[in-house]
Each structure stands twice: as C-alpha cells, then as structure tokens.
Copies of this chain bind each other. A is one copy, B any other.
Amino acid sequence: MNAESGLVAAVRNARLQDFVGVAERIRGDIIRTPLLPCTSGTKTIRLKAECLQPLGSFKIRAAASVLQTMDPGDLERGVATASAGNFAQGLGLAAKRRGIALTVHAPDSAAKVKLEAIRGLGARIVMHPFADWWSIMTTRETGADDGVFIHPVCEAGVILGNGSIGLELAEDWPEMDTVVIPFGGGGLSSGIALALRALSRKVRIVACEVETSTALTAAFAANAPVRVERHPSFVDGIGSNGVLEEMWPLVKELIDDVVVVTLSEVKAAVRVLALRHHLIAEGAGAAALAAALSPRCKGTNVAAVITGGNIDAAVLCPILSGADV
C-alpha cells in the first residue's frame, strides 16, 4: 500500500463522528457561514458564503483541521508545508493561534504580496527554485528538520476539515438535493461528499470547472487523469493540468457530474453576487453559482459553494461595470 491509497482508505473509512469531531474542534477558527437564498434563476439556489471566512476562503477549515487532527506531541517540533497561496495563509493563522511554529516552503515564482501575508502571520518562509519546490510537493521531503510536513491537498485532515461544510449544508437545508463545488484539487468536493455520505444524505455532487481548464471533464472522458491545457484567466483559484493521481479514486467515486462554465458566465455570477447579495467572490467562488444557474446543472434545490473572495479590485471593478465583457 502506498501513501496515496493510505489517504484514500483513511478518508473513505471516516465515520460521521470523525467529521463531527473535526467540525467541533475547528469551531473557534472559522465562521459558521450563512446559506443565503439566491433570487436568480429558475431553480431554488442557495449560496454557502465561504468568502466570509477569515482570510477570505474555505481553506482555514482544512488548515485548522489538520492541526487539530495531529498528535500534540508531533506539533511541538513545528510544522512545515509547501504552498504559496491560501492554504499557507490559513495554516499560518491556525498555527499562530495555537503557538505552533510554521515553515512555509515556497517557489521563487510566488507572489510577493502573498508571501508578505504569510510572513505577517509569523511563519518562516524558505524559497526554492520551482523544480526543487515541486519535488517537496511530491516527496514531502523538505530537506530540513522543520517539523511534520503537511500537504496542502493530499492530507486526511484537509479532507475531514472540508467536510465541515457538508455538515453545515445538511443541517441548514434538509431539502437540498444538489451541491455545486468548484473543482481544484478535489479535496473540497471529496470532503463535502464524504460528510454527506456519512450522514446518509442523498445529494448529487456536481463539480464545476471553467472552460479554460477542464481537467476533470477530461479525466471522466478518459476514465483516468490525463494532461490538459490550462489557460490563465481571472479565475485563478481552480483549474490545473490534470487531476492528481492520488485523488482520482476518490473523485471518480464521489462526484456525480461535472459542469463546465464559460468565463462570461462566471463574470455574470460575480455581478449577481456583488450587486444582489453584496458578496465579493473571486472567479473560482462565483463559478459554482454560474454552474448552478446553468441549464446544464440538474437539480431542484441546489447549494452553490462560494469558496472564496480574494479578487483584486482592479479585476473586480471592470466585471461589475460590465466593461470587460
């Protein structure tokens, strides 16, 4: 058995009490985000406003969860991760609150503003050439004695923490029959799906992708992860060159359908969220609403997970005015 199948086995076997336990233990780190009725569209759509979380994304759930599910003795040596984005920030905040030393390994291509934010939370940053950094991501070897390595995606604690969204959705909306989730690495979809399954709730899990990167659609077509093109766009929070091999067994089992949305549909959803619901969502966050609004998404009572709100005003404002459409 290799590390990947260990992950899959660990989360597949997670029981309801495991999800509930994690949700209890991260309660002080997160917001119980509201599920807002959406007045657009012909379906009944509700918005899970994860953009209201501390640091503006659902990632704080996973970060806090990982620290809470680790052996306290292991945490004394500190923890390390390889990320330069929202996960490292979430881990920085969760570690700071617990007085745990954090080392973040970042590629030298990382955005300075994100590194500053991570440093501002008290983490130590080690920069690497991109190839060396990618090697850390795949081997989990940082080459230093900087504590337990926490993978930003392939980690049971990450998936269990994301499951807390599933528990909240189930509690807040007993009639929900479909949930739409932006597809990045698959950890969010898996966590929500497994939590709902642990609750014995029959809910269709719909992943959404943007037309500029359709890794999951391609994987379902080929019945295996395949390499796809990823075209950069303002939707920078999701999309990849391919479904992660170690996540594919979970993803294949748990996701019922994929809806691909256009950039134009995502922009329209950003506008609806801002102008009708007064929420600022980043492209990836708005993609779930775009998919829910689409006739390509089936379902009657559809929850859309608005995963995050980290979008620059310079990107947001032309979308709000419709000037860039």
- Quickly give the copy total for this chain: 2
CB-CB under 8 A from A274, the residues of chain B are: 280, 313
Cβ-based interface call for A101 (8 A): no
CA–CA, A15 and B316, complex, Å: 46
13 A–B contacts, CB within 8 A, in A order: A32-B34, A33-B34, A36-B52, A37-B54, A49-B52, A51-B278, A56-B276, A278-B309, A279-B279, A280-B280, A313-B317, A313-B321, A316-B317
**Quick one: CB contact mask for A23-55 with B, threshold 8 Å, 1 for yes?**
000000001111011010000000001011010
- Distance between A236 CB and nearest chain B CB, rounded to angstroms: 16
Cβ-based interface call for A275 (8 A): yes
Cβ-based interface call for A277 (8 A): yes
For the complex, count residues of A whose C-beta is within 8 A of B: 27
CA–CA, A104 and B67, complex, Å: 56
From B31, B54, B279, B314, give the contact of A52 (CB < 8 A): B279
Instruction: Tell whether A313 pairs with B281 under 8 Å between CB atoms, given A32-B34, A34-B31, A34-B52.
Output: no
CB-CB under 8 A from A36, the residues of chain B are: 31, 52
CB-CB under 8 A from A313, the residues of chain B are: 274-275, 317, 320-321
